[in-house]
Amino acid sequence: MAYAWNNRGLSRYRLGDQQGGLADIQRGLELDDRNAYGYRNLGIIRSEEGKLEEARELFLKAKELDPKTHMLDDLLASVTG
């Protein structure tokens, strides 16, 4: 269920419901705090907000949990100079 909450959160955020999207991702992380996709999706949001250092830290946390997380290396490269 955590995976579904995390993906719904990113979708809601991108559709303009920032609060709802962040709440969904937080719920996903509460269900499974070792779900790399939750940290990846939160990192994507922080990156889009221009919070690149926070995004980088979240991407690194995701990589620590699951180095095979989809597109993670590309996302890390996008926030690392």
Average confidence score pLDDT of the chain: 96
pLDDT value of residue 50: 96
Helix-, strand-, coil-residue percentages of the chain, each rounded to 5: 75, 0, 25
d(CA 33, CA 73): 21
Query: Does residue 21 carry a pLDDT above 80?
Result: yes
**CA dihedral for 71, 72, 78, 81, sign (positive or negative):** negative
Q: Residues 56-81: pLDDT tens digits?
A: 999 999 999 999 999 999 999 999 97
Tell me the percentage of the chain whose pLDDT exceeds 70: 100
Domains observed in the chain: 2-79 (1.25.40.10)
Q: Residues 45-56: pLDDT tens digits?
A: 999 999 999 999
